[in-house]
């Protein structure tokens, strides 16, 4: 059972998506992606650190062949508000040229990370590129962009768990919790 309220660094969080809800939605996304990429072998690029749990669960539900790679960028530092500045910490290892790329994100907030990655990937001349994000903060996008596969649309509130951190902690929760604002 997921406990419904937790306290982290004196902040109160309430349950937003349970482990079962997350896993159910990932199964649905994997089915659609497997259909769309039938006969292809896409490279799933996880955006470190947040996307690791989502990527690990998503690829195990696929019915197609796939490869994985990782990229690490930073926009948040250890704060709860985006710095607006993207720093590349670890670049792609795979050769993306001529390949079908699916970038795997934990959450899209301002959209700055995604638009940065789009340009970076474009320069590597892939056959195609798409984005899958478990969460999207709809109202928050400052950059107009299209996320091809979305798990859940959420309010513009800070969330933790299932890969998402508060100052690097709480990524290892099975459920997702949203900050409670009184």
The footprint of ligand IMP on residues 120-139 (CB under 6 A) is none
Residues with Cβ within 8 Å of residue 49, at least 6 apart in sequence: 72, 163, 165, 168, 171
Q: Are 65 and 39 in contact (CB under 8 A)?
A: no
Candidates 26-34, 84-92, 101-109, 150-158; binding stretch for Mg ion (CB under 5 A): 101-109
Shortest separation between residue 130's beta carbon and ligand IMP, angstroms: 16
* Among the listed residues 69, 67, 72, the one whose alpha carbon sits nearest the alpha carbon of residue 48: 72
* Length of the chain (residues): 182
- In the chain, what's the furthest Cα-to-Cα distance? 50
Shortest separation between residue 38's beta carbon and Mg ion, angstroms: 29
Is 50 a binder of Mg ion (CB under 5 A)?
yes
The footprint of ligand IMP on residues 100-119 (CB under 6 A) is 105-113
Based on its alpha-carbon atoms, the radius of gyration of the chain, rounded to whole angstroms, reads 16
The footprint of ligand IMP on residues 73-92 (CB under 6 A) is 75-76, 82
Shortest separation between residue 65's beta carbon and Mg ion, angstroms: 26
Candidates 16-24, 33-41, 88-96, 156-164; binding stretch for ligand IMP (CB under 6 A): 156-164
- Partner that binds at residue 75, options Mg ion, ligand IMP, none, CB closer than 5 to 8 Å by kind: ligand IMP
Helix or strand holding residue 22 (H, E): helix 19-36
Catalytic residues: 109
């Amino acid at each position: 059972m997921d406990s419904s309220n937790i306290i982290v660094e004196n902040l109160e969080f309430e349950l937003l998506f349970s482990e079962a809800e997350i896993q159910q939605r990932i199964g649905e996304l994997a089915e659609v992606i497997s259909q769309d990429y039938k006969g292809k072998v896409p490279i799933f690029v996880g955006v470190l650190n947040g996307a690791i749990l989502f990527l690990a669960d998503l690829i195990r539900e696929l019915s197609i062949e796939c490869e994985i790679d990782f990229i690490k960028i930073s926009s948040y530092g250890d704060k709860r508000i985006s710095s607006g500045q993207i720093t590349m910490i670890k670049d792609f290892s795979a050769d993306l040229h001529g390949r079908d790329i699916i970038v795997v994100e934990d959450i899209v907030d301002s959209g700055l990370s995604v638009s940065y990655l789009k340009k970076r990937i474009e320069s590597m001349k892939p056959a195609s590129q798409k984005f899958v994000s478990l969460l999207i903060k709809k109202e928050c996008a400052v950059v107009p962009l299209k996320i091809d596969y979305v798990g859940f649309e959420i309010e513009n509130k800070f969330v933790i768990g299932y890969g998402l951190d508060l100052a690097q902690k709480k990524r290892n929760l099975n459920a997702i919790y949203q900050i409670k604002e009184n």
